[in-house]
Amino acid sequence: MMNLQMVDLKSQYEKIKDEVNASIQEVIDTTAFINGPQVKTFSSNLEKYLGVKHVIPCANGTDALQIAMMALDLQPGDEIITPSYTYFATVEVVGLLQLTPVFCEVDKDTFSIDVNEIEKLITPKTKAIVPVHLFGQSADMEPILAIAKKHGLYVIEDNAQAIGGYYTFSDGTRVANGCMGTIGTTSFFPSKNLGCYGDGGAIFTNDNDLAVKLKMVANHGQKEKYIHEIIGCNSRLDTMQAAILNVKLPHLDSYCDARRKVADYYDAAFAGNAKIKTPFRAPYSHHVYHQYTIQLQDGINRNEVMNRLKELGIPSMVYYPIPAHKQKMFENTHRPSTNLDLTNWLVEHVISLPIHTEMTSEQMEYISTHFLNIINTL
């Protein structure tokens, strides 16, 4: 039986071990554990990679979303349009700041926010749209930005799962995910396409004044030490993590390419099977496959599929089993939304297979062959 993982971080580390270890040792030798020079270097390197004016590092992707909303001076009761089908952090910060989530249906193919449903949800209380670039694919940003401009709304991109990808506008312009809206956010959780060896996150913007405020919010509301002008928080990217990310950033494109090759293999192996639907590739999105998420058609017992895969040593996951609008936290605090039948269906039918940068052809063949055998016997 093969030793398979959803993400193989150890094998990835082995290939860059010397560089990583040297970068960590340098931090230890200098003892600049907080706000060391590696943090500024990483911010600058990521700005160049993304083509964005400002990268503000922070402690994690959840903090990044919270800081973004705080910097925009959103007030309790303000309405935020966002998908319910997302990792919970996207909407958790909405509740934390006493904002009102308004859950929007997702597109049946991309799993991202359905642009045709957004305007139906806008009221005088609406202040922002939070599209999520889910599983490595861009949300359809061109119409989202047009809607936001029409109604005077902020756009906060949750790019925790799609760094390294980009969106192509109708005129052919390509823009990195997270760099199109008012603010973009990301996470450097270890399993991400660009992951550190602990927690980490960052905020992106092209607005100079907003960048100043984002930095203040992330640093106790201060520009000068001990002078606190606004309410803030304490959210930093540790020097150690920045040093590791400086090593890994030059590999990001090759990491994304490796994931796309795994997706290509799966797509070819599963082509034509009526019992499953492979991930859709939107023409406007350069998909970087943070997850490879399949839809099982009605009549397929997902639990049985997962149990039989497990018996063969093949891990699988469900992202995400309970949508935000059904979480107890939001029982009495979200505004009733449009029909979310598709979201409710997806959480019962999606399954994600292993995908990472270090997968071998033997592993891909083993997984796809056994997965198909299971599907075809149900």
Residue spans per domain, the chain: 9-250, 251-376
Residue 337 is predicted with a pLDDT of: 64
Q: Residue 346's pLDDT band (boundaries 50, 70, 90)?
A: very high
- Is a pLDDT exceeding 90 seen at residue 217? yes
Q: Which residues contact 377 (CB under 8 A, 6 or more apart)?
A: none
Burial 334-350 (b: 16+ CB within 10 A, else e): beebeebeebeebbebb
pLDDT band at 2 (very low <50, low <70, confident <90, very high): confident
CATH of 9-250, one of 3.40.640.10, 3.30.70.980, 3.40.50.720, 3.40.50.620: 3.40.640.10
Nearest Cα residue to 57 out of 230, 215, 189, 225: 215
Cα 355 from Cα 369, distance rounded (Å)? 15
**Per-residue model confidence (pLDDT) at position 170:** 98
Q: Residue 42: CB partners within 8 Å, gap ≥ 6?
A: 57, 237, 242, 243, 245, 246, 249
With cut-offs at 50, 70 and 90, classify the pLDDT of residue 336: low
Mean pLDDT of 51-62: 98
What is the residue whose two structure tokens read 């700005």? 47
Report the percent of the chain where pLDDT is more than 90: 96
Say if CB 288 and CB 256 are below 8 A apart. yes
Average pLDDT over residues 231-240: 98
Q: Six-digit token pair at 200?
A: 């980490």
Residue 346 near residue 83, CB atoms below 8 Å? no
Q: Do domains 9-250 and 251-376 have the same CATH topology?
A: no
Average pLDDT, whole number, for the chain?
Answer: 97
Average pLDDT value for residue range 63-75: 98
Q: What tens digit of pLDDT does each residue of 88-137 get? A: 999 999 999 999 999 999 999 999 999 999 999 999 999 999 999 999 99
State percent of the chain over pLDDT 70.
99
CATH 2.10.60.10 corresponds to the domain 251-376: no
State mean pLDDT over 42-52: 98
Residue 211 has pLDDT above 70, yes or no: yes
pLDDT of residue 373: 97
The token duo for 268 is 């070819």
